[in-house]
Amino acid sequence: MKKLLFILLTFISLGSIANQPVRPLVPMDSSDSLLQKGYYSPELYAATGNSYYKQNKIGLAILYYERALKLSPDNQDIKDNLELANAKKTDKDLTGSPSLKSSLNQLNAFISYDQLSWTAIVLMILASTLIIATRFRSPEKRKKMMLSGLLLNTFGVVLILFAGYQKQNIEETKEAIIISSSAQIHNEPSSTSGVVVTLHEGSKVVVSKSEGEWMRVIINEEYSGWIVKSSAQEI
């Protein structure tokens, strides 16, 4: 009877947290203190994001989930938490047409450049094995095996080159998250210049350059402009 009651209570507890982000590994104060001391890890960033999510600070929650995902792109828990936080942000219709770099970021979330590199290595090992094995086959099979080996090797080299290109582009791309409740994007780095669009916390932008207290950001192929640096933080 006690075992049955324990199992029942366990299922009730699991059901009550099914739609909540993963519980922080450390308290908010502790995570802030560790970050200020220069410590960082996917778990620490995710824990900080969870704490901000519970305080309904969606912009900061998304910022730290994105930082965590950058260090651990295959972590499904972080992806799920980021999806929950993104569902709460105001701006959802300013994505526009995806650029090459944003497409590479989406590809990296699906399969990282490390995984592409390992796949390429495995393919080239298989290619080498096939080519070596041709020495012990009949002339008819030798030609087919040699061709298969060369094709696998070529595909592996292409994957290696693409993984390097993907890594370089992603690392060179500076993205930021709006952390203010709202932020105006101006035509020029001046508060008196025209406003292109107003963004709200949680929106992601690409940072192209900085100038004093301002930074130029790109939202999509249609919208770009200048924003006060304090309104956003780089991922």
Helix extents (H) in 87-186? 100-110, 113-133, 139-172
pLDDT tens track, the chain, 235 positions: 444 334 433 444 444 434 445 444 444 445 555 565 566 789 999 999 999 999 999 999 999 999 998 888 888 999 999 999 999 998 875 654 445 455 555 555 567 677 888 888 888 898 888 888 888 877 778 888 888 888 988 988 888 888 877 777 666 678 899 999 999 999 999 989 999 999 999 999 989 888 889 999 988 878 899 999 999 999 8
Distance of CA 194 to the CA centre of its chain: 32
Helix then strand count (H, E) for the chain reads: 8, 7
pTM to 2 decimals? 0.59
